[in-house]
A = this chain, B = another copy of it.
Amino acid sequence: MKVTINDVAKKAEVSVATVSRVLNNNYPVNVVTRARVNKVIKDMQFIPNMQAQEIKHRKSRTIGIIVPSVDNMFFPEVINGVEDYLMKHDYSLLLCFSKNSKEREKANVRNLLSRNVAGIIIADADLTNVENHFYDEFVKNTPITFINGNPSHDQFSHVLCDEEEGANQALQALWNHGHRHIYFIRGINSHSYDVKENAYRTFMKQHNEECDGDVIYVGEGNSSKVIDVTRSIMVTRLLKDKNTAAFCCNDLMALGVIDACKELAMDVPKDFSIIGFDNIILSKFVQPKLTTVDQNMVQLGLNAASLMVENIEAGKKLNKTIVLSPKLVMRETLGKNSNK
């Protein structure tokens, strides 16, 4: 059985109140009693039960984080940033995977709430569309900060990469290199995909081009799966379509496109250009090295965490939004359109 404050009190022949006082060092206790109690604590290896403490204090020092998965290196990097900040501020991290499922996202939130977290950080939330009122009910009680969520939820804190801007940089670069027919490749469930698709559609409209069937949906899964599914879809499309380039919602999909090109013996970027998004570490190791839009994931996490503790310590009301600027990093998969 685990040793409790009662056991310590009994053994040290003092009341639990006294033990608590030496533990917390917040009330005068006689130096010799204190020494005796400390000795017993050490001898019995007593570790105070934080759950009991938190229930008493009606607060908590654990914060929940929900990410789709850690398959895509994007999220581990975000978690890194979050953990780094939180650790320094004595918070612990309860980790949940939403697997791009609305149902799991809900379940995760409820689970975290019942576990009495001080706040929740949610990356790539799927339930943030305005018509979806899921998060509305939680405002009053628990601070939530979204990473790359829909900022229309203005009661919450947000940390965003300006994905529209990132998409525009990529699309503009493609345009400047003479590409007129451009695939847009995205996954299924995430606000991020939607904002990039919007950017894509308005870019196309602005340039009097048609998108006709060029947005391609790829399912979710682990890295290898995403890459492979993208590859296999693109293998069937690349030759018959007139497109000369692809803008991909994340680097994994971009790798899949590279693979498809290799399989069809198309040269990248001579025959086909590709731009990814995220700049995960993989992207600079593929051959050819992937041109992609960097969103500083660690910064994303760091900012989310700092917003979160600010929020907690302020006692609720904050709803700041931090927008980070992405940056196109030129590598080797963008080239001039040579097809006339």
Contacts and interface: CB of A to CB of B under 8 A. Distances in A.
Interface in A224-274: 224, 255
A2 B94 CA distance: 20
Residue of A45, A69, A92, A286 contacting most chain B CB atoms (<10 Å): A92
A147 interface: no
A281 to B, nearest CB: 5
Contacts of A80: 69-71, 222
Contacts of A133: none
Contacts of A83: 95, 97
Interface in A61-110: 62, 69-71, 73, 75-77, 79-80, 83, 87, 92-97, 110
A62 B94 contact: yes
A314 interface: no
A236 B42 CA distance: 50
Interface string A41-64: 000010111111011000010100
Interface string A288-310: 00000000000000000000000
A54 B87 CA distance: 25
Contact of A115 (B62, B71, B141): B62
B97 A94 contact: no
Given A62-B115, A94-B62, A51 B55 contact: yes
A48 B113 CA distance: 9
7 contacts: A47-B110, A52-B55, A62-B94, A80-B222, A92-B115, A282-B282, A285-B285
**Sorted from nearest, which 5 A-B pairs have the closest CB atoms?**
A287-B287, A70-B76, A50-B114, A95-B95, A51-B51
Interface of A: 1-2, 45, 47-52, 54-55, 60, 62, 69-71, 73, 75-77, 79-80, 83, 87, 92-97, 110-111, 113-116, 137, 141, 222-224, 255, 281-282, 285-287
